[in-house]
């Protein structure tokens, strides 16, 4: 038994190393993608439009993989290669909208290829510590976001954004040997119908999470560019707005893993996230926007670990299938959320309004849990 536990602990550490390297490269390069294209002349509507390729790609991949057999490590390594290719596309391609759409599609493919095998193994090894590991999972990006955008902004100011994208692309190569060690080449096959049936009681919740997450990803990336127009300014903004979210998520996740009172925390933090997201729609200059984003990011870091934890609490078997079904629903939700942002941008000429609508969507999350309590167990 001790050897088995020690082996699981070692595998979990290796997976965390993969996760750290993957996210470090992504934060360094990804912080400046939309600034790069807006500076080249892309419109706000064009930037939002590119997010459809990000959300649509995993739906296509999941449909193509439905019922097919593949190795989990093979899928993950394919994802690493595709992610590196996406940043090489930015480094060497023209700064045109078609390049951004190609980048978005390649990154979106990894919602399945990389994240499904990674999430299945990560949370399988972390049974009993779901909220704590979920907090680590969601805190890594903000933690890197404190300093890597500053470094990227300095590099871009001195040598241009092309070098930042190239460094990100090359950095993914370091993930390959760790991925070989972290994952077994075990068979992975899923049936989409079976995956969705296994998420009974959670489908509406996952879809709502997707609507909010997809819409906020598009809206926040684009609106920030109205106030921060250089790599140095954007890097500083990203660093400041992620500063206060990391510590709180660890504190609350430890409380939850001991008390298991997921519903209470989802209600509190989901309400806070919805209210602060709606409040962001009123911020129309750099300082109020930064303050509102900081508060929203604080609640986001507290809320999201529990959305993962409640699925892990209820799904004791076939985590790979649960994650595949989750990605399918998440990305359909993301498409709707992005459509809300695009409609507000193009039809109403007010992208800020989308934030209020998305805030209302996430406010519904705790209420849906109450409606679904006959089908799911959330303590």
Mean pLDDT confidence for 284-310: 89
The alpha carbons of the chain give a radius of gyration, in whole angstroms, of 20
**Enclosing domain of residue 260:** 2-371
Q: Could you tell me the two tokens for 77?
A: 């390594």
CA-closest candidate to residue 54, choices 223, 238, 215, 235: 215
Chain segment 77-111, per-residue pLDDT in tens = 999 999 999 999 999 999 999 999 999 999 999 98
**Does the residue 378 lie in any domain?**
no
Total number of domains constituting the chain:
1
Confidence band (pLDDT; 50, 70, 90) for 12? confident
Tell me what pLDDT residue 1 has: 44
Within a domain: residue 302?
A: yes
Averaged pLDDT of the chain: 88
Cα–Cα dist 104/52, whole Å:
8
As a whole number, mean pLDDT of residues 264-268 equals 85
Query: Residue 336's domain is classified under what CATH number?
Result: 1.20.1250.20
Segment of 13-27, 131-145, 363-377 carrying the highest mean pLDDT: 13-27
Q: Would you state the pLDDT for residue 3?
A: 53
Range with the poorest average pLDDT among 40-44, 55-59, 73-77? 73-77
Query: pLDDT tens for residues 147-184?
Result: 999 999 999 999 999 999 999 999 988 888 888 777 77
pTM, 2 dp? 0.91
**174 or 40, which is more confident?**
40
Sign of CA dihedral 221, 226, 229, 234: negative
Could you tell me if 210 and 337 are in contact, meaning their C-beta atoms sit under 8 angstroms apart?
yes
Identify whether 14 is part of a domain. Answer: yes
Query: Hey, how many other C-beta atoms are within 10 angstroms of the C-beta on 219?
Result: 29
* Contact assessment for residue 18 and residue 181, using Cβ atoms and an 8 Å cutoff: no
Choose between 195 and 44: higher pLDDT: 44
Is residue 267 classed exposed, middle or buried when 0-12, 13-18 and 19+ CB atoms within 10 A define those classes? middle
**pLDDT score at 364:** 94
Residue 303 lies in a domain: yes
Tell which residue, 288, 296, 306, has the closest CA to residue 242. 296
Mean pLDDT of 269-278: 94
Report yes or no on 216 lying in a domain. yes
pLDDT score recorded for residue 281: 96
Rounded average pLDDT over 237-260: 72
Q: Is residue 376 part of a domain?
A: no
Is residue 379, in this structure, part of any structural domain at all?
no
Whether 377 is covered by a domain: the verdict is: no
Which residues lie across from 188 on neighbouring strands? 70
């Amino acid at each position: 038994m001790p050897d088995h536990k020690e082996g699981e602990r070692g595998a979990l550490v290796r997976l965390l190393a993969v996760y750290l390297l993957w996210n470090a490269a992504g934060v360094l390069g990804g912080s400046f993608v939309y600034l790069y294209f807006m500076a080249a002349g892309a419109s706000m509507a064009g930037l939002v439009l590119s997010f459809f390729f990000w959300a649509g790609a995993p739906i296509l991949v999941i449909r193509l993989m439905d019922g097919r057999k593949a190795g989990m490590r093979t899928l993950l390594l394919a994802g690493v290669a595709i992610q590196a290719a996406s940043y090489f596309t930015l480094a060497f391609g023209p700064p045109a909208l078609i390049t951004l759409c190609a980048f978005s599609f390649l990154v979106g493919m990894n919602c399945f290829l990389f994240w499904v095998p990674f999430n299945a193994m990560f949370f399988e090894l972390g049974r009993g510590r779901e909220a704590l590991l979920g907090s680590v999972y969601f805190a890594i990006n903000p933690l890197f976001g404190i300093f890597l955008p500053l470094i990227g902004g300095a590099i871009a100011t001195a040598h241009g954004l092309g070098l930042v994208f190239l460094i990100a692309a090359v950095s993914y190569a370091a993930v390959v040997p760790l991925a070989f060690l972290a994952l077994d080449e075990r068979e992975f096959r899923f049936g989409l119908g079976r995956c969705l049936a296994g998420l009974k009681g959670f489908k509406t919740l996952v879809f709502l999470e997707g609507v909010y997450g997809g819409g906020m990803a598009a809206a926040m990336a684009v609106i920030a560019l109205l106030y921060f127009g250089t790599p140095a300014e954007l890097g500083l903004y990203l660093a400041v707005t992620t500063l206060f979210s990391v510590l709180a998520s660890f504190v609350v996740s430890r409380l939850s893993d001991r008390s298991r009172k997921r519903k209470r925390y989802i209600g509190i933090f989901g309400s806070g996230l919805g209210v602060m997201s709606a409040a962001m729609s009123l911020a129309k200059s750099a300082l109020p926007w930064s303050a509102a984003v900081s508060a929203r990011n604080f609640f986001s870091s507290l809320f999201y670990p529990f959305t993962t934890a409640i699925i892990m609490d209820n799904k004791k078997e076939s985590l790979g299938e649960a994650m595949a079904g989750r990605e399918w629903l998440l990305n359909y939700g993301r498409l709707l959320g992005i459509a809300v942002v695009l409609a507000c941008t193009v039809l109403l000429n007010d992208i800020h309004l989308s934030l209020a609508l998305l805030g209302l969507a996430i406010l519904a999350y705790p209420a849906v849990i109450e409606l679904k309590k006959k089908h799911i167990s959330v303590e």
